Amino acid sequence: MAALTNAIPEKTVERLSEYRRTLLACHKQGISHIFSHVLAGIHGITAVQVRRDLMLIGFSSDTKKGYDVQVLINYISNILDSPTPMNVAVLGMGHLGQAITKYFNSKGLKLRITTAFDVDPQKVGHEIDGIPCFHMDQFEKAVEERDISIVVVSSPTNVALDLVVPIINAGIRGVLNFTSTPLNFPQGIIVENYDITTLLEKVAYFVKESDSNNS
């Protein structure tokens, strides 16, 4: 991920996104205030970390009852969300693409997956999980017409590299790549390569290490 002036560190952005999700769940349950150590406990981190993250975004209105949940949600949203909503497209509407679309659009977030692309004639021209599916041939045109700024790459791994040039040409600004092929883009395009395999291999490694520490 490219370094940007004044931007908040990646890990803090991740945690802010996570705090907000917890706060939204609290709000739904009618909880109006939360202590930093409670928020920290839910996320398995220290209260110092929570306070440091919030200090970094200039939030400090801790009260005797803890943070005001609604105020903190709004504060984080102002930091994370774009003032104009961003549209997201999924490239590859297979199982992973469909799972991501359903999962994401069910959350009622500002960020929405609005468009799918595929090459399968059974999918192209149809609506899947509530969003229209276009042929990759129409990528550039559809991106412009539908004002898409971010794409999720959930195509088969062996075609992922073929998507790089169309993504650049269409003026896409951010890429979340779930395939096993790491994708590189010119400066100015934000890319996050995330292979699920890595996560599972990581958990397995630490289980193995934990075993050998205990034996």
For residue 159, what are its two tokens?
A: 């075609």
The alpha carbons of the chain give a radius of gyration, in whole angstroms, of: 20
Closest to 16 (Cα-Cα) out of 58, 50, 63: 50
Position 41 contacts a copy of itself (CB under 8 A): yes
> Binding a copy of itself by CB under 8 A: which of 27, 33, 38, 42?
42
Cβ-based nearer residue to a copy of itself, 63 or 130: 130
Q: Which long-range contacts (CB under 8 A, 24 or more apart) does 44-50 make?
A: 45/15, 49/15, 50/15, 50/19
For residue 141, what are its two tokens?
A: 């045109």
Shortest CB 3 distance to a copy of itself, Å = 10
Q: Please report, for residues 99, 108, 110, 114, 197, the alpha-carbon distance to residue 104 in angstroms, rounded to integers and kept in the order given.
A: 8, 8, 10, 11, 20
Shortest CB 211 distance to a copy of itself, Å = 7
Shortest CB 47 distance to a copy of itself, Å = 15
Shortest CB 104 distance to a copy of itself, Å = 6
Which listed range, 46-54, 65-73, 139-147, 183-191, lies at the site for a copy of itself (CB under 8 A)?
183-191
Position 175 contacts a copy of itself (CB under 8 A): yes
For residue 205, what are its two tokens?
A: 């490694």
> Binding a copy of itself by CB under 8 A: which of 29, 30, 44, 64?
44
Find out whether 65 and 33 touch, Cβ atoms under 8 Å.
yes
> Binding a copy of itself by CB under 8 A: which of 60, 108, 207, 215?
207
Subset of 74-113 contacting a copy of itself (CB under 8 A): 79-82, 86, 88, 94-96, 98-100, 102-104, 107, 109, 111
Per-residue binding letters, 184-203, with a copy of itself (x by CB under 8 A): x---x-xxxxxxxxxxxxxx
CB atoms within 10 A of CB 8: 16
